[in-house]
């Protein structure tokens, strides 16, 4: 059976387009913050990462953290954080809402990897609801893996732990 060049090109385009559709910007960070606070977000605050806090973050990430500060939004007992971590090679931008020291919501805002995009769906992110941070900086809930998305799952679990850690730090001030 002989396949013509135009058919081969068409098939290759179809394969690459399905890969590129997987990642992308799902929600702008500003829109996420507006949604969380019913279009009346509090003014953004800045948490400067002291040496001790930065060391705790490095232990969670297993690598150096790139920033000196983290922006967050707080209203009463609710804080919102937009954090990034590399899945395999590219950053995953994720929004976290912490309420009374428990995760209320996790939302993948931007996914730039070619694989592992399944972490953006509610069936996965809903697992984080009501999770707390234990004394050893681990989550108190088991988060199930997704076959083929292990590195993305790992990145989101680390970010959840960091969001809870930062929330705890803000509350202790």
Domain boundaries, the chain: 24-172
Which pLDDT belongs to residue 21? 47
Report H helices in 4-149: 5-22, 29-36, 51-61, 122-125
C-beta separation of 165 from 60 below 8 A: yes
4 vs 26: CA distance, rounded Å: 37
164 vs 134: CA distance, rounded Å: 10
Which pLDDT belongs to residue 1? 55
> Per-residue confidence of the chain (173 residues) as pLDDT tens digits?
566 555 545 444 444 444 444 579 999 999 999 999 999 999 999 999 999 999 999 999 999 988 899 999 999 999 999 999 999 999 999 999 999 999 999 999 999 999 999 999 999 999 999 999 999 999 999 999 999 999 999 999 999 999 999 999 999 87
Which pLDDT belongs to residue 173? 76
30 vs 88: CA distance, rounded Å: 26
41 vs 88: CA distance, rounded Å: 33
Q: What is this structure's pTM?
A: 0.86
């Amino acid at each position: 059976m002989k396949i013509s060049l135009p058919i081969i090109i068409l098939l290759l385009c179809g394969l690459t387009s399905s890969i590129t559709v997987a990642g992308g910007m799902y929600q702008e960070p500003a829109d996420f913050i507006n949604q969380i606070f019913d279009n009346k977000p509090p003014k953004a605050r800045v948490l400067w990462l002291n040496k001790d806090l930065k060391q705790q973050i490095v232990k969670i990430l297993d690598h150096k953290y790139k920033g000196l500060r983290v922006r967050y939004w707080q209203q009463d007992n609710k804080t919102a954080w937009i954090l990034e971590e590399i899945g395999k090679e590219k950053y995953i931008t994720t929004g976290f809402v912490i309420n009374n020291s428990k995760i209320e919501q996790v939302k993948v805002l931007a996914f730039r990897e070619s694989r592992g995009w399944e972490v953006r769906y509610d069936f996965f992110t809903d697992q984080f609801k009501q999770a707390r941070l234990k004394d050893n900086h681990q989550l108190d809930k088991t988060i199930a893996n997704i076959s083929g998305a292990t590195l993305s799952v790992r990145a989101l679990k680390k970010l959840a732990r960091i969001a809870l850690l930062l929330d705890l730090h803000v509350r202790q001030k």
